[in-house]
Structure 1
Amino acid sequence: MPPAGAGLPPYLPAAAGGSSRLRRIATPAGVLAAVVGAFGYVATVDPNQPGHYPVCPMLRFAGVYCPGCGGLRSAHAFAHGDLAAAFGANALAVVGYGIFAVLWTVWLVREVRGKPLRIALRPVHWWGIGAVLLIFTVVRNLPFGSALAP
């Protein structure tokens, strides 16, 4: 039987050959820290006040709400716990927050258990996501869909 650390590069100690639980959760924790930081920034710098954030180019030049229009106002309201205002600013973003929370939790649990998360989206999934974004964009720009406009 070879000695501990055999086959490892000389700069790695034998204990570093296995991945520790702390090391496995470092990436999900870093992603969560970045998201919390972004939401914290948007919570303190109000997007409802002019001059803090750039105007959406699609809204400015074409006069059409894109799928992201109202996203910063949605994040601001969400960070302050006002789910109704967040949903009113951008309903799709609020759904995205929920999807992110579920995927992040699954990712963390799998990393803790030592099973990496692999999400393989097939072309049909990408087409579905694109269709949802397109339908949301069209409906929010029509008179009957004005409730979805920011």
Structure 2
Amino acid sequence: MDASASSSAAAPDPSPVHGPGLPTAPAPVSRLRRLATPVGVMAAVVGAFGYVATVDPNEPGHYPVCPMLRFTGVFCPGCGGLRSAHAFAHGDLAAALGANALAVVGYVVLAVVWLLWTVRAGRGQTLRIGLAPGYWWGIGAVLLVFSVVRNLPFGSALAP
């Protein structure tokens, strides 16, 4: 057997071959299918806000008490978040900010990210949010400062 013939027969053919049973390029995804996930996420968020708007967290017995507040008497960064969501859902921005100002900022940030996600998904683009470690440390620092200040006498305006 000739060595040159066996080596040339084993070399793959660089030209693509299409035919029955062979893999082909994936079909383009429809706009409706691309928007299904962002729309589904928004439906879940609207459902959650709708539930909190209907079941008032200001009345005792509807929701569990924050474990950190219950066992330590200290307000965590999320304390007042349900009351804030309830007021926000009813359009009372002042009460929402009074219950948890950081949560209201979070609602706005998440709404902007969702809108950007939806627009990019409609165009067939992906949304990649890659924050450098410095940003994550900054977010953690803001949460820590918010938690400490709202538990001090001069920061009582931030307490729920």
Query: TM-score normalized by structure 1?
Result: 0.91
1:66 corresponds to which of 76, 83, 107: 76
Q: Secondary structure at the match of 1:17?
A: coil
2:89 matched residue in structure 1: 79
2:40 matched residue in structure 1: 30
Aligned residues: 144
Distance 1:4 1:95, change over 3 A: farther
1:49 corresponds to which of 59, 75, 88: 59
Aligned-residue Cα RMSD (Å) equals 1.7
Amino acid at match of 2:144: L
Q: Secondary structure at the match of 1:102?
A: helix
Answer yes or no: is the 8 Å Cα contact 1:5–1:17 preserved in 2. no
Q: Shift of the alpha carbon at 1:122?
A: 2.0
2:28 matched residue in structure 1: 18
Q: Percent identity?
A: 76
Answer yes or no: is the 8 Å Cα contact 1:65–1:149 preserved in 2. yes
Q: Which runs of 5+ in 2 are unaligned?
A: 1-16
Point out 4+ residue stretches in structure 1 off by more than 2 angstroms. 1-6
Q: Which runs of 5+ in 1 are unaligned?
A: 9-13
Answer yes or no: is the 8 Å Cα contact 1:25–1:111 preserved in 2. yes
Answer yes or no: is the 8 Å Cα contact 1:67–1:133 preserved in 2. yes
Distance 1:31 1:5, change over 3 A: farther
Q: Following the alignment from structure 2 to structure 1, what is the Cα–Cα distance between the partners of residues 32 and 113?
A: 19
